[in-house]
Amino acid sequence: MKILQLDKNHPLISQQLTAKGFVVEEDHTSSYDEVLEKISYYDALIIRSRIPLDKNFLTRASHLKFIARVGAGMENIDAETAANLGIKLINSPEGNRDSVAEHVVGMLLILMNRLFIAANEVKNGIWKREENRGDELLGKTFGIIGYGNMGKAVAKRLSGFGVEVIFYDILPDLSDEYATQVSLKELQERADILSLHIPLTPETHYLIDEVFISKMEKDFYFINTARGKNLKTKALVEAIRSGKVLGACLDVLEYEKSSFENLESENQDLKFLLDSDKAIVTPHIAGWTHQSKEKLAQVIVDKILASYY
C-alpha cells in the first residue's frame, strides 16, 4: 500500500509503517493543485490540516482506501463524499486529549487567579494585592458541551478541584464518575464556567452567539479549545464588555487560517481580546505538547495497522 504524508508528523509514523511493508512518501510543500496531479498514484493519505480534501480532490483520488488525520477535527475533509467513495476516515483524538485537558485547566487557573497579570506587574515593580484577588474553582459548576475524548479528559482533571461537572452532548447516556449529563437548558441555568469540546459542523458553527449567551443565567467564564468558528467572537466581546462573561480562555480563533498556522484576518474584536485583562489567547496549542505529538502519531499507526495489516 502506497501512502502519501502531506504534513510533518512524528517520524514514528513513517518508521513503523515502513517496517510493516507500507510504502510511505512525504510531501510537505506541494500546493493543492500539485498534490491533485499525483494523488491517483496513492492508496492512502496521512494529513493534518494543510490541504483541504474537498469533493473535487476526493473524486480525483481514485485509489484511496483511507485518509488518516493526525488529530481530532475532520472538518477539512468532505466526509460525505469520502463515504460515498468508500474511503475510510481515521483520526486520533485519543492522542492529545490529555494535553487539551491540562491546557484548559491551566488557562482557567491563570485567568481566575490573575497570575499572568500579577506576575508581570511584580516584574515591573508594581505590587498590588487587593487588585489581584483571585476567584476559586471550589464550589463552582463547570459546564462542558461535547463529552467525547476531550470533554471526558477535562472532567477527569477537574475531579480534585471540588467542582461539580455537568455536560451536554447530542448522544445519550454518557454520564460517568466524573460528570453528569444534563439538558442544554439545565447547563445554561447552572454553569459558572462553560468549556467547548465539539467539532465544527453546520450545527455547531457560531453555536455560542448572542442568543446562547443571553440564555446563560449566571455570569460565567468561557473556554474554547475546540474550533474558532464555534464562537461568534463579536458576541463574546459584547458579553465581556457587559460583564456577562467574566473572562475568556481562547486557544482557537474565528480568524485562523484553515491550516491553523496563522491568522487569516484581524479586526477590532480580536484587538479587544488581545488587549483585555479578561482574556487569555493562545495560538492553537492546547493539543500541542511534546508528548501529544508522539501519542497522536502512535494512535494513527495503531489504527492503520489494526485495519490493514
149 lies in the same domain as 270: yes
pLDDT band at 200 (very low <50, low <70, confident <90, very high): very high
Residues 176 and 29 in one domain: no
Number of domains in the chain: 2
Other Cβ atoms closer than 10 A to 88: 16
Are residues 271 and 125 part of one domain?
yes
Does residue 128 sit in the same domain as residue 237? yes
Bridge-partner residues for 26, per DSSP? 5
Closest residue by Cα to residue 32 from 254, 259, 252, 255: 259
| Residue tagged active-site, from 60, 256, 264, 294 | 256
- Residue 287: inside a domain: no
Element (H, E) at 2: strand 2-5
Distance, C-alpha 251 to centroid of its chain: 8
Q: Which of 48, 69, 97, 284 is catalytic?
A: 284
Q: How far apart are CA 111 and CA 97, in angstroms?
A: 21
Cα(220)–Cα(222) distance, integer angstroms: 6
User: What is the model's pTM?
Assistant: 0.94
Confidence band (pLDDT; 50, 70, 90) for 308? confident
| Across 92-101, average pLDDT | 96
For the stretch 179-191, pLDDT in tens is 999 999 999 999 9
Confidence of residue 258 (pLDDT cuts 50, 70, 90): confident
Residue 73 sits in which domain range? 2-91
Q: Give me the percent of the chain exceeding a pLDDT of 70.
A: 100
Does a structural domain hold residue 303?
no
| Catalytic residue (choose from 97, 103, 197, 227) | 227
Per the annotation, the verdict on 256 as an active-site residue is: yes
Residue 169: what pLDDT?
A: 98
**Residue 125, CA atoms < 13 Å, CB-side half-sphere:** 0
Is residue 36 predicted with pLDDT exceeding 80?
Answer: yes
Please state, in angstroms and rounded to a whole number, the distance separating the CA atoms of residues 135 and 222. Answer: 14
